[in-house]
Chains A and B, each alone.
Chain A
Amino acid sequence: MTAQKSLPEIVISIRGVKKSFGDYEVLKGADLDLYERENLVVLGRSGTGKSVLIKIISGLLTQDSGTVNVLGKDVSKLGPKELLALRLNVGFSFQNSALYDSMTVRKNLEFPLVRNRKHLTKGEINYAVETVLDAVGLSQTIHQMPSELSGGQRKRIGIARTLILQPQIMLYDEPTAGLDPITCIEINSLINEVQERFHTSSIIITHDLTCAKETGDRIAMLLDGQFQKIGTFDEVFASDDERIKPFYDYNFIV
């Protein structure tokens, strides 16, 4: 008897998603699958709907048509309670980190935990906070306010806050935007470490090719509201598509 290698499970399935803002149609029938324990990078120019797509996945926005299935559930058809339950499994790291600026780092990290894991003791909460802070390498910042942190540190704390609920899926919105090259490399490494340590499946929105190459198992090119090319980094940029080539030509790859 031969052992059959099972195919990786699809954790996010997007089919024919359309989204308009007024007369401007951002997504024009996007199709995409995210497999379990995969890092999928969505590349595209500014304003092409990359962030809109992950906001639809997390239920912050609703698509005009098409379906978005996350962990087997159609997001647009979920009620408020079901959506909250789903969100426990879908972490979202914001472009500007979106830390609660009136709370210390500790309070920021405790916030989702205290509200969603009510059975935890104070000791267990402290342990969870220390674990995720250690994972992002910022244990020393625990008592600091967000305003006292650098841009890179804020990104890391944002990721830590997302990780504290131990989600199955991570959505990163422009994780390296506005950071210096060294910090970008550190964030790229962190994304890979998170996947290895927490076994997450991730969608990484970026227009930074270094980030795409370092973190992505697959790259999905979003052009004119649709995914025009999906494959490994080399496959995508071996394309003769005149809309994809400039992306590579104008980016500096380490």
Chain B
Amino acid sequence: MLLELYRVHQFVMKFFKEFLFPPYEGKEIIRQCYQVGYRSLLLISLTGFITGIVFTKQSRPSLAEFGATSWLPSLVGIALLRTLAPLLTALISAGKVGSSIGAELGSMKVTEQIDAMEVSATNPFKFLVISRVIATTVTIPILTFYTALVGLIGGFVNVMFNENTSFIAYIQSFLDSITFLDITASTIKSIVFGFTIGMVGCYQGYNSSRGTEGVGKAANSAVVIGMFLVFVEEIVATQITFFFKT
């Protein structure tokens, strides 16, 4: 356990050491950003939209008891922006992107492709790890705001049919209820989630043991550990946000 923690520490330190010094693999970073976004977009769109509809529908009866259904846009918006969108995006990305990175790098390790890069005077860490971690760190926050937007549209569809509210009034109500801290917290949180998912996927793949079993194990560990860390970070982030609010 301690040895593993030491290895993780070394890996993260190596990331920052390599990240700070050029050259950078610009084309590979852009390709990875596209891959990360493209791989998750459909699932995130569906999940975000359905979550918006379901959350609005489930919240209505409780608010109706107090005659406060007009607060629905605010409630849906805050819930989506503060927690649901970052968490949903991160969990879907951990499943889709984290596993994919773990399997891809694991497979490259097993078939000696990483060694081949090294002996051909190319820094494989820079090409494979730095580019992927930058891609997840940049793309997942963008996907998070996209999820929030799609979720809001889902919520609006439900509100429109039940409360006959216009889209402008719905958005206005949402904008009135959110603060700068909500947006900042959500952005920082999703950057941390993105970094974590990329690092976990890369670490598991890059250090996978030899053999096909190792590739499967790397992909699986990337998802399980990635999701676990996202939940832990969510708890920490919530505590920090409340600290700043009070």
Contacts and interface: CB of A to CB of B under 8 A. Distances in A.
Q: Please determine whether chains A and B interact with each other in the same assembly.
A: yes
B123 interface: yes
A162 B121 contact: no
B121 A98 contact: no
A115 B121 contact: yes
Nearest to B25: A115
A194 to B, nearest CB: 16
Closest 6 CB pairs of A and B: A112-B120, A98-B116, A92-B119, A98-B112, A87-B121, A84-B121
B163 to A, nearest CB: 50
B119 A115 contact: no
B118 interface: yes
A85 B120 CA distance: 10
Contacts of A116: 120-122
A55 B121 CA distance: 14
Contacts of B118: 59-60, 87
Q: What band does the interface of chain B fall in when counting residues whose beta carbon is under 8 Å from A? A: 10 to 19
Interface string A100-120: 110000000001100110000
Interface of A: 55, 58-60, 80, 84-85, 87-88, 90-92, 94-96, 98-101, 111-112, 115-116, 161-162, 165
Contacts of A60: 115, 118-119
A69 B119 CA distance: 16
Interface of B: 108, 111-113, 115-123
B116 to A, nearest CB: 4
Contacts of B115: 55, 60, 92, 94, 98
A85 B121 CA distance: 7
B121 to A, nearest CB: 4
A90 B122 contact: no
A96 B122 contact: no
Contacts of B122: 111-112, 115-116
A101 B105 CA distance: 12
A92 B117 CA distance: 10
Contacts of B113: 98-101
A84 B115 CA distance: 13
Given A60-B118, A94-B116, A116-B122, 8 more contacts: A80-B123, A94-B112, A98-B115, A101-B113, A111-B120, A111-B122, A112-B120, A116-B120
Contacts of A100: 108, 113, 116-117
B123 A58 contact: no
Nearest to A100: B113
Nearest to A84: B121
A87 B119 contact: yes
A112 B111 contact: no
A58 B118 CA distance: 9
A229 B84 CA distance: 70
